[in-house]
């Protein structure tokens, strides 16, 4: 994208604030973006790689047994010589299990083992929080993931989808050539893999459908579910795992579950078997030799617009510190680098934002009193998780890393132990103290099923937050992000959960009808905006746009109460946090699958809905950043 010359802030806030940086910024060869979140992530990654390497070399003390295991896994990733010598050998046992399957009866006989070993199956399953009773767990079902990022890529005439499948096929052919399969079998396995993937794409949800996550809750009585899942012996699987049966299963993707018996048959079993072989082989390449890691990264690089694979150090760090032992390394990062003064300041900001939200709810002009009381109760019950947890959960204390195992075997063992741990939760109470993000992740989230907000230590840095920034600037940056996460409690999805996170309609019919109309207006505001050669899907991104809108509304309300509010500083800080330079391929991908609007639009569209924007910079109907009053949307 060409950067604009001499941009007026009244015409384009994003480019006026970030234009100079955008002219010279260079996207790292192994990343799809630069700036904003990515820049902080690069800094955290460099810092922790240096620490892990120092620990691995005995130059820095290792704080606890869990960190020692993370360091050992990191070292295995760094051992290029061993990985190169091993080649495909570490994944051969997993491939052999798949190759040995004769038919569906044989699959059923080994189903429990395959689930616990993380083998590729014709459906996905697991244990999650029960949306209707968030004190309990449920067993869920959904379809396998497709090769392409979304079902829309499979539509006839979709040239991007066709091109990506071509790249995937070329990559798979190269990787299969390293196996002991004959040339004829290599071609057959790839052909069957693509055919099975096409069948999956016809019956699983699109990303737009997944964005309406309340519709994931589709309870199916056990007897009906067992019938729909034939020819799989799901009863035998559940009895083998638990020794007893749950009353119901939850179909996250009900269309797939209803279609399963037609999709998975004796006739399609050979396609499944070859698909599982290829999927397992390709999925292992990132842990094997450098040649296989490079060849196996071709599709991902093409999808994201990357010029090269991450370095060995970065790969080892991401596997150990953002994957296997994320909470362990996150706790280390938080304790080592996150200041208590900053933590207290941000927690105080969160409390002030919640308090202002409650005031605004009390004065809301479209909610009835009973609905307002329920909304305020939900705000009262929000749990704040700031920085990092007090201690790691028991799961990490029980993970094992064998000194003698290969990198692939070690990572697979950890994945399998995590799978078993998660499955074993089915008949146990939900632990609401768990964190869904580690302290070293540059991100933030609201969890609708526990009504809590999480702000990892890694995001609490400039430009999002700094003790050296003014209160107005911090409100426009981290404050608006905090408000954004709180607003998710009242977006089109979160609004359907109560103060305990249960799916529960606490609205009057009139109020919810009005809310839905406002939601439609938010869809319309963004829908169809041209961007990166495509258009924004307003339905896909509506929940995040509602959250942006609410976050700005509540922080502008707080700004008004400051003795010397700096509205220009507020909006400039807002624009700065969304500064991003991205590869075109990545922009295209996000438009198809991401529930967030492009960062440029987040920076420029949201302010237009608020009178403070117009008074701060004297914006009029003659300016590019003007939106007629009748088209402005505010919900919270």
Residue 3 pLDDT exceeds 90: no
Q: Are residues 588 and 440 in the same domain?
A: yes
Q: Are residues 543 and 446 in the same domain?
A: yes
How confident is the model over 362-380, as a mean pLDDT? 95
Residue that terminates a domain, selected from 262, 287, 312: 287
Residue 297, in any domain of the structure: no
Q: Are residues 402 and 453 in the same domain?
A: yes
Report how many domains make up the chain: 2
* 461 in Cβ contact with 441 (< 8 Å): no
Q: Of 197, 295, 485, 594, which residue is the catalytic one?
A: 485
Summarised one tens digit per residue, pLDDT across range 295-312 is 999 999 999 999 999 999
Q: Are residues 372 and 275 in the same domain?
A: no
Q: Are residues 519 and 421 in the same domain?
A: yes
143: CATH: 1.10.1380.10
The predicted structure's pLDDT at residue 152: 95
Residue 59, in any domain of the structure: no
What are the percentages of helix, strand and coil residues in the chain, rounded to 5?
A: 60, 5, 35
Residue that terminates a domain, selected from 287, 312, 342: 287
Copy the structure tokens of residue 138. Answer: 């449920």
Residue 1 pLDDT exceeds 80: no
Q: Are residues 278 and 329 in the same domain?
A: no
Q: In b/e form, how buried is each residue of 601-626, taking b as 16+ CB within 10 angstroms?
A: bbbbbbbbbbebbbebbebeeeeebe
The predicted structure's pLDDT at residue 339: 78
Residue 588 pLDDT exceeds 90: yes
Residue 601 pLDDT exceeds 50: yes
Residue 20 pLDDT exceeds 60: yes
CA distance 482 to 474: 11
Average confidence score pLDDT of the chain: 96
pLDDT band at 5 (very low <50, low <70, confident <90, very high): low
Give whole-number Cα distances, 176 to 82, 88, 187, 188, 233, in Å. 21, 11, 9, 11, 31
Burial class (CB within 10 angstroms; exposed 0-12, middle 13-18, buried 19+) of 290? middle
How confident is the model over 495-499, as a mean pLDDT? 95
Q: Is 150 a catalytic residue?
A: no
Consecutive H or E run containing 383:
strand 383-387
Residue 72, in any domain of the structure: no
Residue that terminates a domain, selected from 258, 287, 316: 287
pLDDT band at 369 (very low <50, low <70, confident <90, very high): very high
Summarised one tens digit per residue, pLDDT across range 462-471 is 999 998 999 9
Q: Are residues 339 and 237 in the same domain?
A: no
Give whole-number Cα distances, 576 to 12, 39, 42, 462, 525, in Å. 13, 12, 17, 10, 22
Q: Is 548 a catalytic residue?
A: yes
Residue 237 CB contacts under 8 Å (≥ 6 apart), including other chains: 111, 112, 115
Output the CA torsion sign for 308, 313, 314, 316.
positive
Summarised one tens digit per residue, pLDDT across range 570-586 is 999 999 999 999 999 99
> Closest Cα partner for 172 from 159, 161, 185?
185
Residue 65, in any domain of the structure: no
How confident is the model over 535-560, as a mean pLDDT? 96
Residue 180 CB contacts under 8 Å (≥ 6 apart), including other chains: none
Q: Are residues 503 and 359 in the same domain?
A: yes
How confident is the model over 512-537, as a mean pLDDT? 95
What angle separates helix 65-78 from helix 326-337, to the nearest 10 degrees? Answer: 110
* 360 in Cβ contact with 486 (< 8 Å): no
Q: Are residues 469 and 346 in the same domain?
A: yes
Q: Of 192, 233, 548, 594, which residue is the catalytic one?
A: 548
> Is pLDDT larger for residue 344 or for residue 379?
379
Residue 214 pLDDT exceeds 60: yes
The predicted structure's pLDDT at residue 4: 52
CA distance 255 to 96: 32
* 541 in Cβ contact with 529 (< 8 Å): no
Copy the structure tokens of residue 558. Answer: 């707080």
The predicted structure's pLDDT at residue 340: 82
For the beta carbon of residue 365, count every other beta carbon within 10 angstroms: 5
Residue 230, in any domain of the structure: yes
Residue 522, in any domain of the structure: yes
Residue 311, in any domain of the structure: no
Q: Are residues 409 and 268 in the same domain?
A: no
Lowest mean pLDDT of 1-5, 204-208, 233-237, 559-563, name the range.
Answer: 1-5
Q: Rg (Cα) of the chain, in Å, rounded?
A: 25
**Structural domain boundaries, residue 493:** 13-47+324-631
Q: Are residues 338 and 208 in the same domain?
A: no
Q: Are residues 333 and 282 in the same domain?
A: no
The predicted structure's pLDDT at residue 141: 98
Residue 58, in any domain of the structure: no
The predicted structure's pLDDT at residue 36: 87
502: CATH: 3.40.390.10
Summarised one tens digit per residue, pLDDT across range 373-419 is 999 999 999 999 999 998 999 999 999 999 999 999 999 999 999 99
């Amino acid at each position: 994208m060409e950067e604009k010359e001499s941009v007026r802030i009244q015409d384009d806030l994003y480019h006026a604030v970030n234009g100079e940086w955008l002219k010279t910024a260079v996207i790292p060869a192994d990343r799809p973006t630069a700036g904003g979140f990515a820049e902080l992530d690069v800094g955290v990654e460099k810092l922790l790689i240096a620490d892990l390497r120092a620990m691995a070399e005995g130059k820095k003390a290792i704080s606890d047994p869990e960190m020692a295991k993370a360091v050992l896994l990191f070292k295995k990733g760094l051992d290029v010589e061993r990985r190169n010598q091993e080649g495909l050998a570490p994944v051969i046992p997993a491939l052999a299990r798949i190759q040995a399957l004769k038919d569906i009866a044989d699959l059923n006989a080994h189903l429990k083992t395959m689930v616990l070993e993380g083998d590729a199956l014709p459906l996905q399953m697991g244990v999650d929080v029960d949306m209707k009773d968030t004190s309990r767990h449920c067993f869920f079902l959904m379809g396998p993931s497709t090769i392409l990022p979304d079902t829309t890529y499979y539509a006839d005439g979709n040239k991007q989808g066709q091109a990506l499948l071509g790249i995937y096929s070329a990559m798979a052919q190269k990787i299969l050539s390293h196996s002991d399969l004959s040339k004829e079998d290599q071609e057959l396995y790839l052909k069957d893999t693509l055919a099975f993937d096409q069948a999956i794409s016809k019956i699983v949800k699109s990303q737009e459908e997944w964005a309406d996550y309340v519709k994931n809750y589709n309870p199916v009585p056990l007897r009906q579910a067992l019938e729909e899942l034939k020819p799989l012996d799901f009863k035998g699987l559940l009895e083998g795992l638990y020794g007893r049966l749950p009353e119901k299963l939850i179909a996250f993707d009900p269309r797939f579950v209803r279609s399963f018996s037609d999709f998975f048959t004796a006739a399609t079993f050979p396609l499944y078997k070859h698909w599982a072989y290829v999927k397992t082989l390709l999925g292992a390449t990132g842990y094997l030799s450098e040649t296989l890691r490079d060849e196996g990264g071709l599709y991902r690089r093409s999808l994201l617009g990357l010029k090269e694979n991450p370095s060995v150090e970065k790969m080892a760090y991401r596997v150990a510190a953002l994957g296997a032992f994320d909470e362990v390394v996150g706790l280390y990062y938080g304790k080592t680098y996150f200041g208590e003064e900053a933590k207290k300041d941000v927690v105080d900001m969160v409390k002030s934002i919640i308090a202002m939200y409650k005031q605004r709810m009390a004065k809301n002009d479209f909610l009835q009193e009973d609905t307002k009381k329920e909304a305020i109760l939900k705000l009262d019950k929000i749990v704040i998780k700031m920085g990092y947890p007090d201690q790691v959960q028991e799961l990490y204390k029980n993970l094992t890393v064998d000194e003698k195992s290969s990198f692939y075997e070690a990572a697979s063992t950890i994945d399998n132990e995590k799978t078993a741990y998660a499955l074993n939760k089915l008949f146990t109470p939900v632990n609401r103290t768990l964190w869904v993000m580690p302290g070293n992740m540059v991100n933030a989230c609201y969890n609708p099923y526990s009504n809590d907000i999480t702000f990892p230590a890694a995001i609490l840095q400039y430009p999002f937050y700094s003790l050296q920034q003014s209160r107005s600037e911090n409100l426009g940056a981290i404050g608006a992000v905090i408000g954004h996460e709180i607003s998710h409690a009242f977006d089109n999805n979160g609004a359907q959960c109560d103060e305990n996170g249960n799916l529960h309609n606490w609205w009057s019919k009139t109020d919810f009808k009005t809310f839905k109309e406002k939601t439609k207006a938010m869809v319309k505001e963004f829908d169809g905006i041209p961007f990166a050669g495509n258009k924004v899907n307003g339905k896909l991104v509506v929940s995040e746009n509602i959250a942006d809108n609410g976050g700005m509304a509540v922080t502008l309300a707080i700004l008004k109460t400051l003795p010397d509010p700096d509205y220009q500083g507020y909006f400039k800080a807002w624009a700065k946090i969304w500064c991003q330079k991205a590869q075109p391929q990545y922009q295209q991908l996000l438009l198809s699958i991401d529930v967030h609007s492009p960062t440029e639009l987040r920076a420029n569209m949201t302010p237009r809905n608020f009178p403070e924007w117009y008074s701060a910079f004297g914006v009029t109907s003659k300016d590019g950043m003007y939106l007629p009053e009748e088209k402005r949307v505010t919900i919270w």
